[in-house]
Structure 1
């Protein structure tokens, strides 16, 4: 299932679509890196650490390109040696499969 998820492309959600329920979220959490955490069943977040600002910035730029290609954009906080990445599906006020697709693809960066 992990390979399937990583090979999927994000599909836009519509207003009124239902966010993932807690059980579905936990099923997806079994697939992604243990370093991702779910916050209140509405946000998926991970902190990436780097040896310097330049590497953190390069990662951020690569993530920005990935997000543009997928049409699913994270909240990104960049600081010296650290990037905090958060995914949520704003249209549905919760998590969707897209958030987990992006988590898998972000880990590959």
Structure 2
């Protein structure tokens, strides 16, 4: 099982991610797109990196908005896996 990060480690890692917030032991970002089709295309781009990492985000889609939450469920909070996946997601357009 992945090791939980300390509050200091979380703060340091979060400062390196643009647009992400930390709340309730989760990393979260909401991305807005022109329309529903673009939102779905973005979500489809999350499949390969998530599968490769063996780590899957929670995703909510509301028309042109995609809310992504990342946490390590089996560890009960934030681990390095979450920040690594968030960094990859941040690079996806």
Shorter chain as denominator, the TM-score bin is over 0.9
Structure 2 segments unaligned to the other structure (5+ residues): none
Per the TM alignment, residue 29 of structure 1 is displaced from its structure 2 partner at its CA by 1.1
Provide the residue aligned with 2:14 in structure 1: 29
The structure with the largest helix share of the pair is 1
Aligned length: 92
Deviant stretches of 4+, over 4 Å: none
> Which of 30, 34, 44 matches 1:51?
34
Q: CA deviation at 1:24?
A: 0.5
Which residue of 2 is the match for residue 85 of structure 1? 68
> How far apart are 1:78 and its partner, in Å?
1.1
Greater shift in the superposed pair: 99-108 or 61-70: 61-70
Instruction: Give the TM-score of the pair, scaled to structure 1.
Output: 0.80
Root-mean-square deviation over aligned CA pairs = 1.0
- Secondary structure of 2:47 counterpart: helix
User: Any idea what the Cα deviations from partners look like across 1:47-70, whole Å, max 9, x if unmatched?
Assistant: 000000000000001112221111
Where do 5+ consecutive residues of structure 1 fail to align? 1-13
